[in-house]
Every structure is written in structure tokens, then in C-alpha cells.
């Protein structure tokens, strides 16, 4: 992925992680952006357990990572921080989402948490990018499916399809590169 438009984008990646899977995915995303042959983005990680969401407003490009817990609930750290979205102006910001879920264990609420994030960032004025195809997953229902049949962001299943995650992340980042830089 070649950055044809100058210095790498400064991206703030905000995530919450209970068992480490979302943190690990965030590290892989940051690594792929930083160590590509032609790095197009510099990603700074922010764990929402220790970083106030107000920091989000300092970035023009934002990634949000979250897992879905139990039957469609937010991860604990996001649950504690989520209300802070109401105080953040995201007008004109570019936001992309990635989420982790268990399509076999929770097929009726697969990555539902992504829908909460999509709704709030759009409500706060952001431009949502990075929709992801639903093909290749086995689930029955998800609030994170948009009207066009794609997820509102990248979906990873570290429980049932961990071997697919690296390729999915790389493809999604290539897609974001096109949406945020090349096709401006």
C-alpha cells in the first residue's frame, strides 16, 4: 500500500479488551500500517480503560475496536466509557470500526456491539468507512449488518476463525487506504 499523498496519516486506535484478543488485533493493525513497504499510516493505540475518550477528538482518522460480549453487550471497558461519546465532537472525522465476536457460540448476536459504535459515531458527525463483506461467516443475525448486507466494520472471530484474521486485517487496511487516501 503506497501512500501517494505525503506523510503517513496519524490514526488514533481506541479499543477495549477483556481477554486480550482485541488488544492483539489492535497491535496487528498498528504493525501492518507501520511496517508495510510504504507505510501510509502511523497508528497510536489507546486503551479506553486508561485513556479518556476526549483524546479521540485530537485525531482526524480514528479506528475503534471492540468485542461483543454475551448476548450482544459491550465489552466492560467500553461500557464504562461509552457515555463519554455524547461529549465528543466527531464532525468531519474519518472513523472505521473493527469488532470481535463468536459466530458459533453467539450466532444471533454476532458482533452486535459494532452497531452501537456505528450509530454513535455517525450521530456525532463522523464519516464511517471500512464496511466489510459478510461472506465467509456462519451466523444467523447481527445488528452490525448494514442495509447493503455488509458489516459496518471489519469482523474478526478469534474463537472459530483465528487463521483468517491476519488476511482479513490486511485486506481491510488496503480498503481503508483506498477510502481514506487514494479515492479522496
Q: Is residue 152 part of a domain?
A: yes
For the chain, the distance separating the N- and C-terminal CA atoms, rounded to the nearest angstrom, is: 15
Q: Is residue 1 part of a domain?
A: no
Give me the domain span that covers residue 83.
9-182
Q: Which residues are within 8 A (CB) of 91 and not within 5 positions of it... i.e. 6 or more apart? A: 124, 125, 126
Q: Is residue 4 part of a domain?
A: no
Q: Residue 119 maps to which CATH number?
A: 3.40.50.360
Q: Is residue 142 part of a domain?
A: yes
How does pLDDT run across 75-94, given as a tens digit for each residue? Answer: 999 999 999 999 999 999 99
Q: Is residue 115 part of a domain?
A: yes
CB atoms within 10 A of CB 122: 14
**Reported pTM:** 0.94
What's residue 151's pLDDT? 98
State yes or no: pLDDT of 184 exceeds 80. no
How does pLDDT run across 151-170, given as a tens digit for each residue? Answer: 999 999 999 999 999 999 99
State yes or no: pLDDT of 96 exceeds 90. yes
Share of the chain above pLDDT 70, in %: 93
Q: Is residue 95 part of a domain?
A: yes
Q: Which residues are within 8 A (CB) of 22 and not within 5 positions of it... i.e. 6 or more apart? A: 15, 16, 65, 66, 67, 75, 100
Q: Is residue 120 part of a domain?
A: yes
Amino acid at each position: 500500500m503506497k501512500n501517494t499523498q505525503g506523510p503517513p496519516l496519524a490514526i488514533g486506535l481506541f479499543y477495549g479488551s477483556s481477554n486480550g484478543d482485541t488488544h492483539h488485533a489492535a497491535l496487528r493493525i498498528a504493525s501492518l500500517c507501520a511496517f508495510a513497504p510504504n507505510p501510509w499510516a502511523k497508528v497510536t493505540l489507546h486503551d479506553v480503560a486508561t485513556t479518556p475518550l476526549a483524546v479521540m477528538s485530537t485525531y482526524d482518522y480514528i479506528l475503534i475496536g471492540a468485542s461483543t460480549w454475551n448476548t450482544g453487550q459491550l465489552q466492560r471497558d467500553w461500557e464504562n466509557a461509552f457515555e463519554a461519546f455524547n461529549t465528543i465532537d466527531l464532525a468531519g472525522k474519518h472513523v472505521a470500526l473493527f469488532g470481535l465476536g463468536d459466530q458459533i457460540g453467539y450466532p444471533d448476536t454476532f458482533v452486535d456491539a459494532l452497531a452501537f459504535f456505528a450509530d454513535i459515531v455517525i450521530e456525532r458527525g463522523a464519516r464511517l468507512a471500512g464496511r466489510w463483506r459478510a461472506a465467509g461467516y456462519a451466523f444467523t443475525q447481527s445488528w452490525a449488518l448494514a442495509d447493503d448486507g455488509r458489516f459496518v466494520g471489519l469482523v474478526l472471530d478469534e474463537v472459530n476463525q483465528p487463521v483468517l484474521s491476519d488476511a482479513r486485517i490486511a485486506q481491510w487496511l488496503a480498503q481503508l487506504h483506498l477510502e481514506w487516501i487514494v479515492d479522496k
